[in-house]
Chains A and B, each alone.
Chain A
Amino acid sequence: MKRFLLLLTLMFAAPALADSGLPPPELAYTQLRDPAKELRAKALMETLRCLVCQGQSIADSDAEMAADMRALVRQRIEAGETPDQVRGWLIQRYGDYVTYDPPFSWLTAPLWAAPVLLIAIGLFIARRSFGKDDDESEGQEGTRA
């Protein structure tokens, strides 16, 4: 019975659904007074990953934790930190995973190189298809399935 109850509690134990029921901190849903700072904070928030949803930015997420992180970002920007400093502080704690704008390193190099590579492959295929007039691709459409 006790084990069953424990399992029952664990069934509802998704931290993502846990909710403290407390009101969010002040700067979670209010903008900064200084529009220039708010702009910087907002741009930064759009590039930070919500740790609960993991597929949303904290600007989009309604998770309590994201609200607290928005407040943290705004407080730090208001105190005069640059967005890069705030991002750096979070990366120091959560690793590159916390940002949607990953810094360039050997680990992230494939991420950055992939689009370039795909465009190069596309150009190569396009050149082969349209560029050269070799006789095997000319005038034989009728005979091919």
Chain B
Amino acid sequence: MRRLLIWAPLALFVLVFGLVASGLFAPGERAVKSAMIGQPAPAFTLPALLPGKPGVDSKTFADGKPRLVNVFASWCGPCIAEAPQLMKMREMGIEIVGIATADTPEAMLGFLTRNGDPFTAIGDDRNRKVQFAFGSAGVPETFVIDGKGKVTYQHIGYVGPQDMPKLLEALAAAR
């Protein structure tokens, strides 16, 4: 027993070393996931950010067709990078609802002029209340809402060309 115990500190060291090494080579997931997946979308109404573009009312989510809710901002770099993909989905006839995070009409107008406007509605989420209600921890994030108004999928970060199949699949599953 004693003879074995002599090796205990070394064994413990190897264990800790292994733990640290594995953490170095496979760092943990840093993104905070929403806990709202599978839940009904939060109830909210957001006023329109831009004239001529309606605001967002969560009551309209239960109209039988799936849609995307895109939490974004004109001041966010990755939102520029995902714009072409959103435009593509718009051309496919997918409805995209925008939640404008801490934004101003002027800045948003410039953003849409430069990057295209895939949104059917843009709500003014000035103080991130709706972002919090969705359990979203940053911009951009994209949620899939099914025809019954349930949140079925969350995509964290910008939607790149490589993310399109997954999103379209989630949209198809939400029908």
Selected interface stretch from B18-26, B70-78, B87-95: B70-78
Selected interface stretch from B43-51, B56-64, B134-142, B165-173: B134-142
Q: Which of A9, A25, A68, A94 is close to B135, meaning CB atoms less than 8 Å apart?
A: A94
- Decide yes or no whether A32 CB sits under 8 A from chain B: no
- Decide yes or no whether A18 CB sits under 8 A from chain B: yes
Interface size, B (range): 20 to 34
CB nearest neighbor in B for A9: B77
Contact sample, A vs B, 8 pairs, CB 8 Å cutoff: A9-B78, A10-B81, A15-B76, A18-B76, A18-B139, A51-B138, A68-B102, A93-B134
Dominant secondary structure at the B interface: loop
- Decide yes or no whether A97 CB sits under 8 A from chain B: yes
Q: Which of A13, A16, A72 is close to B158, meaning CB atoms less than 8 Å apart?
A: A13
Dominant secondary structure at the A interface: helix
- Decide yes or no whether B11 CB sits under 8 A from chain A: no
In the complex, A51 Cα to B76 Cα: how many Å? 17
Residues of B within 8 A of A91 (CB): 35
0 or 1 for each of A18-48: is its CB under 8 Å from B? (1 = yes): 1111100100000000000000000000000
Residues of A within 8 A of B42 (CB): 93
0 or 1 for each of B94-132: is its CB under 8 Å from A? (1 = yes): 000000011110000000000000000000001111001
Residues of B within 8 A of A9 (CB): 77-78, 80-81
In the complex, A93 Cα to B35 Cα: how many Å? 5
